[in-house]
Amino acid sequence: MDGVDLILLDFYLEDDRELFQQIVPELKKAAPVLLCSGVQDERVSGIGAALGVAGYWNKGAGHDKLLALVRSVLDKK
Q: How confident is the model at residue 2 (pLDDT cuts 50, 70, 90)?
A: low
Please determine, for residue 61, whether its predicted confidence score (pLDDT) is greater than 80: yes
Is 20's pLDDT higher than 60? yes
Eight-class DSSP state of 60: G
Give me the pLDDT at residue 33, please: 95
Distance CA(73)–CA(67), nearest Å, equals 10
Q: Which residues contact 49 (CB under 8 A, 6 or more apart)?
A: 56
Q: What is the mean pLDDT of the chain?
A: 86
Q: Which residues does residue 7 pair with via DSSP β-bridges, in sequence order? A: 33
At 53, is the pLDDT very low, low, confident or very high (cuts 50, 70, 90)? very high
The pLDDT of residue 60 is: 83
